[in-house]
């Protein structure tokens, strides 16, 4: 069941768009902001958007940053594309997997971190780079990664 708060936000998003369908990506993001991921409330969402469940799920699973499975509190998006790869992505990834004890795509047991290698983040002049939440981290070294993880650990 969608919460009243989610429903209010969704209806407001629909009003700002040409149609429910056009609001779909924004609506999925609303649900994801509340829950961390897009749960099977996708049925209810489809009803509000005047779309079929399959259409909404087709979009939700198409986009890289709409999650249809639970993810950690902090998403570590590490760029695995060409410039970051050239500048040491693999070393950074290995360091992160060793530090967190997870493989790429997995979430730590305490639910704190999910590690996700992603397509070029447009931070090529600061490669290797990653994003956690709204924060951008460039010119990564293993030491920098240690310091960043310390800050996020609560």
Partner 1 sequence: MTTERPLTGSMKLNGEPLDIREYEKAGGYQAFRKALGSMTPAEIQSVVKDSGLRGRGGAGFPTGQKWSFMPAVDTVPGPRYLIANADEMEPGTFKDRVLIEGNPHQLIEGIIISAYALQVDRAYIFLRCDYRRGAMRLLRALEEAYAANYAGKNILGSGFTLDIRLHVSAGRYICGEETALLNALEGRRPVPRAKPPHPQTCGLWGRPTVINNTETFCNIPHIVDKGAAWFKGLGLTEGGTKIYTASGRVKRPGAWELPLGTPLRDLLNEHAGGMADGYSFRAVIPGGASTDFLLEEHLDVNMDFTAPQKFGSRLGTGGLIVLDDRTCPVGLVSNLIHFFSRESCGWCTPCREGLPWVAKTLQAIEDGEGRPEDIGILEGHTRLLGPGNTFCFLAPGAMEPLQSALTYFRDDFERHIREKRCPWR
Least CB distance to partner 1 at residue 123 (A): 7
Provide the 8-state DSSP code for 126: G
Q: Check binding of 86 to partner 1 (CB under 8 A).
A: yes
81 vs 146 by CB, closer to partner 1: 81
8 vs 119 by CB, closer to partner 1: 119
Q: To 10 degrees, the CA torsion angle through 129, 77, 85, 151?
A: 50
Identify which range of 4-12, 16-24, 91-99, 100-108 contacts partner 1 by CB under 8 A. 16-24
Edge-to-edge strands, sheet with 74-79: 113-118, 74-79, 130-132, 135-137
Q: Is-contact 104 116, C-beta < 8 A?
A: yes
Within 105-144, the residues that bind partner 1 by CB under 8 A are 118-127, 131, 134, 136
Q: Check binding of 12 to partner 1 (CB under 8 A).
A: no
Burial of 97 (0-12, 13-18, 19+ CB in 10 A): middle
Secondary structure class of 77 (helix, strand, coil): strand
Q: Could you list the residues that contact partner 1 (CB under 8 A)?
A: 17-25, 28-29, 49, 51, 58-59, 62-66, 77, 80-83, 85-87, 118-127, 131, 134, 136
């Amino acid at each position: 069941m969608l919460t009243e708060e989610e429903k209010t936000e969704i209806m407001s998003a629909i009003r700002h768009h040409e149609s429910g369908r056009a609001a779909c990506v924004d609506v999925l993001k609303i649900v994801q902001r509340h829950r961390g991921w897009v749960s099977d409330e996708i049925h209810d969402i489809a009803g509000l958007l005047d779309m079929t469940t399959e259409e909404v799920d087709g979009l939700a699973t198409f986009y890289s940053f709409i999650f249809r499975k639970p993810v950690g509190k902090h998403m570590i998006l590490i760029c695995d594309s060409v410039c970051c790869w050239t500048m040491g992505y693999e070393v950074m990834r290995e360091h992160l997997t060793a530090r967190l004890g997870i493989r790429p795509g997995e979430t730590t047991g305490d639910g704190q971190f999910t590690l996700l290698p992603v397509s070029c983040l447009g931070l090529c002049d600061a490669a290797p780079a990653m994003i956690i939440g709204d924060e951008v981290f460039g010119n990564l070294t293993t030491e920098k990664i240690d310091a960043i993880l310390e800050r996020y650990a609560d």
